[in-house]
Structure 1
């Protein structure tokens, strides 16, 4: 699982994920992509499950260390939670997990043109099942 080495702030306030994305709406690296249809917070575990599914489908199209897929998002916002049965006050809780806030129409994952169309579509559809919300496969 991936967590950031360093962050600007120790804790963040609420991050909004409603509304359309400001950037990252077009496929820039590959030929096929997984586009979010709803805003959601994607945890590091969900992104790791997605990575495992996509790498299983596309591992024979990799050239050594060059993978035929690329993630456009990274979980760099900490989500905090206070322990159970703790009194009010005494500061903010500790970091529970790391999330990547995703807005509507954000391209989450891209696949290169080395992967055939039928395999790319099935890999991206299975990857969308691992994430919360609705997703669709788009082509460049």
Structure 2
């Protein structure tokens, strides 16, 4: 089951632009290793679910996966072969808006090599470029 909000204030949202870098959610907080976006983009709920399954199949209970993004923006679509000028389409799917620097996934309780291999599998499913990051020591 793909992620989506329980309820929203407005069903339909405008597309908008993704400007600037992430100022929040840009550090590894929950785990030791993270996957950080280096490009802006939209990641659909089905893509997040596919990444979750791929990561959980790889770590197999040796570590814990944290998903740091949530698809809370609706994307509308018109039916195929519909003429122009009949208004905005109905909500089709949900996406997470990702800015450069956003940490998408984190892993705790796994070795560096295992986390790198796991995130390598996940990165192939993502529509944005990503990089492997580690937790910075506090102080």
Question: Alpha-carbon deviation of 1:105?
Answer: 0.7
Q: What root-mean-square deviation, in Å, do the aligned CA atoms of Structure 1 and Structure 2 show? A: 1.3
Which residue does the alignment assign to 2:97? 101
How many residue pairs end up in the alignment?
134
Which residue does the alignment assign to 2:113? 118
TM-score, normalised relative to structure 2 = 0.90
Query: Distance between the aligned counterparts of 2:19 and 2:128, measured in 1?
Result: 12
Which residue does the alignment assign to 2:131? 136
Q: 8 Å contact 1:16–1:101 — kept in the other structure?
A: no
Question: Alpha-carbon deviation of 1:18?
Answer: 3.5
Query: Distance between the aligned counterparts of 2:68 and 2:126, measured in 1?
Result: 15
Which residue does the alignment assign to 1:19? 20
The 4+ residue runs of structure 1 with deviation greater than 6 A are none
TM-score, normalised relative to structure 1 = 0.89
Q: 8 Å contact 2:33–2:107 — kept in the other structure?
A: yes
Question: Alpha-carbon deviation of 1:19?
Answer: 2.3
Q: Secondary structure at the match of 1:60?
A: coil
Q: Where in structure 2 are there 5+ consecutive unaligned residues?
A: none
Q: Where in structure 1 are there 5+ consecutive unaligned residues?
A: 63-67
